[in-house]
Amino acid sequence: MHDMEKLAYRVVIVMEKVPTRNRWQSMRWQVAAVVPDEGHYQLPTEIKGTTDSKKIAHPGFELGIFRDEGEGYFLNIHAPEPSIFATWRWNADESEAIPHSVTLSYNEAARWMDAQEKVERVPMPAALYETLSVWVEANYKPPEKKQRIRPKSFESKEGRYKGGM
């Protein structure tokens, strides 16, 4: 398992339209959950929400663990709230939020934010946290902190620029 180039899990991203207290915008979309794809949905499907919210399950996403994202996974599992990050975009008429991508990497989520994507996080389930922790332990070594060499001018008063003429 640990020497594979990637591990992947099929997931469903659940988008939810919820009421807001904003007078300019009565409803907003958010990522409600990222759950294992157990084959219940073939297409985006409305699922039971509350009376004033709407939930749509979007199947067919892959949550992968890739070797080159080791640092991002390391940062995620050591964060105060380990998360699954998901991006979404508007459909053509901006009436519905459509999920686009999902990741466990802090670094990948940061790149998405830098690219002006809408990125949301949901808590990482304990079983996935355990799997990711084991993978990180087996496949990623944080870089050693190097001792900074101080310039000679900081070590003593001699050799420092003395200002003036």
Domain count, the chain: 1
Q: How confident is the model at residue 125 (pLDDT cuts 50, 70, 90)?
A: very high
Give the global pTM.
Answer: 0.80
Q: What is the pLDDT of residue 142?
A: 86
The pLDDT tens digits of the residues spanning 7-28 come to 899 999 999 999 888 888 778 9
Query: Is 29 domain-assigned?
Result: yes
Q: What is the pLDDT of residue 145?
A: 78
Query: Is 151 domain-assigned?
Result: no
Query: Is 70 domain-assigned?
Result: yes
Cα 15 to Cα 54: distance, rounded to the nearest angstrom: 8
Query: Is 153 domain-assigned?
Result: no
Q: What is the pLDDT of residue 1?
A: 41
Q: Per-residue pLDDT averaged across 121-138, rounded? A: 95
DSSP symbol at 79: S
Q: At what angle do helices 70-77 and 126-139 cross, to 10 degrees?
A: 130
Give the Cα-Cα-Cα angle 69, 75, 77 (nearest 5 degrees). Answer: 100
Q: How confident is the model at residue 3 (pLDDT cuts 50, 70, 90)?
A: very low
Query: What are the respective helix, strand and coil percentages of the chain, to the nearest 5?
Result: 20, 35, 40
Query: Is 154 domain-assigned?
Result: no
Closest to 32 (Cα-Cα) out of 48, 60, 13, 47: 13
Q: What is the pLDDT of residue 41?
A: 94
Structural domain boundaries enclosing 102: 6-140
Question: What is the overall mean pLDDT for the chain?
Answer: 88
Query: Is 165 domain-assigned?
Result: no
Query: Is 152 domain-assigned?
Result: no
Give the Cα-Cα-Cα angle 57, 59, 65 (nearest 5 degrees). Answer: 120
Query: Is 164 domain-assigned?
Result: no
The pLDDT tens digits of the residues spanning 66-105 come to 999 999 999 999 999 999 999 999 999 989 999 999 999 9
Cα 109 to Cα 102: distance, rounded to the nearest angstrom: 9
